[in-house]
Chain A
Amino acid sequence: MPKTIAIYGKGGIGKSSTASNVAAACADEGYRVTIIGCDPKSDSSITLLRGRRIPTIMDLMREGEDIKEDDIVFTGYKGVKCVEIGGPEPGIGCAGRGIIVAIALLRKISTAIEDTDLVIYDVPGDIVCGGFVAPVKKGLVKEAYVLTSGEYMPLYAANNICKGLSRLEMTLNGVICNSRGADNEEKIVSEFAKEIGSQLLAFIPKDVLVQTCEREGYSVIEKAPDSAIAGVYRKLAKAIMADKDAKIAVPLDDKRLRELTRI
């Protein structure tokens, strides 16, 4: 049974770049990794494919073709299997239903989410409707991680996500801090993790390398393997692959959240 995870967090906080760097780091360790982009933006796998944009499941469905595994599962950095679900154009149709349909199709025609060691579902920042939690509801995601910075709004979002997860009776496997350079950030997020009943797995510093590599179409693991930040992602990858306790998170009230960010 592969480890199946999803990283949640406020929009734009760094979920996709964290997911792809973790994927690359795990591939370096010899794990077989699959990444499923569940965001209509379909930007989850680009840095694992040297900047190449692959056709999405939704693109092919729109074409009305009979879809085969080869059409939607692509091999990227060190054998990482990449799938993008895609979606309708913004403001048209129903992206949530698209995810439900695409996941059902993927399970039917491909073994990419079974015959592997790690599956990462890269979800968009806002779980706007039922379709976006289909991977969780269908039992495909077993581990949830929350990514946040030490600022109030990202923490507020992280706290809300914890509420959502506990409603789904999903445990939280860890909190990751993606720094935006706020004061005392590591301490704030570490305290937050502790208070909701979880733990801080990694502190990823803000580093322009992430963005420069991304612009070229690479993860930092591939393009700058010896950088300090690559080391941080490797450490995070190890922490994710390790067995650890997971409890249902206990979200904080808003007053406490505000206090925390004032530390």
Chain B
Amino acid sequence: MPVKQKEPLIMHPRPSSIVAALYTLRDLDTDVVILHGPPGCSFKHARLLEEDGMRVVTTSLDETGFVFGGHDALVEVLEKVIKRFNPKRIGIVGTCASMIIGEELHEAVMDVQPDVPVIEVEVHAGYRDNTKGVIIALESALACGIISEVEFERQKSLLKEATMVEKRHGAASKEYLEPSRGDLKYKVAERLIELIKQGKKGINILNAKKETAFMFADINLAVAQVAQNLGNGPNIINMANLDVNLGLPKNRRNAHEVKDDLEKAGMEIHHIIGGLDEYPIAGNTASQIIGEKYADYDFAVITGVPHALPMDNLKNMELFSITNGPRQVVPLKEMGHKHVVVEIDLHPKTLGVNHIVESEFGATLREMVKDA
């Protein structure tokens, strides 16, 4: 009997729910996470997360573990983790391998009885939307009393929106998306500088997902600085999703750090459009403000998650968007974004930092104005 697909197939590789759970545990200030599964599972991200100070270890299930179960290995690693790292908060994350064979993460926790909270995340990588990994992690954090019911509900509705954003114009919008490097940075910078020189009015929006703001904000800062240097600073309106009172602990801290850097560099943020985890909905707030106050502006620079901004009030502007997803170029062009720039490998550079990091596009803008 054929197995029917509930939703159309998507062929290009997409973010994993296991990895999403790992990042969520980091945002919850977890010290050590045990990946219960094969040694190579989620290796790249496990390694990157160490830059942010979270340890990731693995139970290293092998063929024998798949066949005979991994309970003893998990108990052993949990005991070792407690001894070696003396963590205040531990996470245990499932993988496809351990979940298929029916491993019970909770059994190992019952055996070891650690005196610090353990967030158990029964997740595998087989979910269509990687946000499922975040939800499962948060459910478990809620059960441990680490987050409140209110925060949980808030996160859940944000994640639903995030999934919708990806379905509409993001990574889940098509059966296959061709990756692209986007438009040439100096060409795009040239056009942007030309508009600023002409005294055109522009909106400069940061709508970044969590820590990626550390680099995306550099681009918004460069735009503001370039306009200032060209004597047209007041023509630019700055908006950013940098509310310091919203989100999980790490997100709040990061919003603070980025905002501080921007203000110290002399950039005025005219409108705060949401928190760092509100990238799926902050665009709506931005759109509304634009409709009310800046509908006649000439251009907009949007960094981070540009595809989350509704097009209604941007239609008549020349759009410059900066993304870190090579697969986001095609959907953005189709939405009507004239210039799309990719900051390749942005995310890794925003881990383990607490200040703004220089971006290629920002550097290009600054350099070109210096030359002029």
Contact = CB atoms under 8 A, between A and B. Distances in A.
B10 interface: no
A33 to B, nearest CB: 27
Contact of A64 (B4, B101, B103): B4
Interface in A132-146: 133-134, 137-138
Interface string A102-133: 00000000000000000000000000011101
Contacts of A94: 100
Interface residues of B, number: 13
Given A89-B1, A130-B69, A64 B6 contact: yes
Contact of A137 (B3, B5, B6, B107): B107
Counting chain A CB atoms within 10 Å of each CB, the highest count among B1, B99, B102, B103 belongs to B102
A96 interface: yes
A97 B102 contact: yes
B102 A131 contact: yes
A129 B102 contact: yes
Contacts of A133: 102
A128 to B, nearest CB: 11
Interface of B is mostly: loop
A137 B1 contact: no
A100 interface: yes
A134 B102 contact: yes
Contacts of B100: 94, 96-97
A26 B95 CA distance: 42
Contacts of B360: none
A131 to B, nearest CB: 5
A130 B103 contact: yes
Interface string A60-87: 0011100000000000000000000000
B104 interface: yes
Interface in B1-37: 1, 3-6
Contacts of B1: 62, 89
A100 B104 CA distance: 11
A62 B3 contact: yes
A63 B3 CA distance: 6
B102 A130 contact: yes
Interface in A22-76: 62-64
Contacts of A134: 102
B228 to A, nearest CB: 55
B278 to A, nearest CB: 28
A138 B106 CA distance: 9
Interface in B100-134: 100-104, 107
21 contacts: A62-B4, A63-B4, A64-B3, A64-B4, A64-B5, A89-B1, A94-B100, A96-B100, A96-B101, A96-B102, A100-B99, A129-B101, A129-B102, A130-B101, A131-B101, A131-B102, A133-B102, A134-B102, A137-B102, A137-B104, A138-B104
Interface of B: 1, 3-6, 69, 99-104, 107
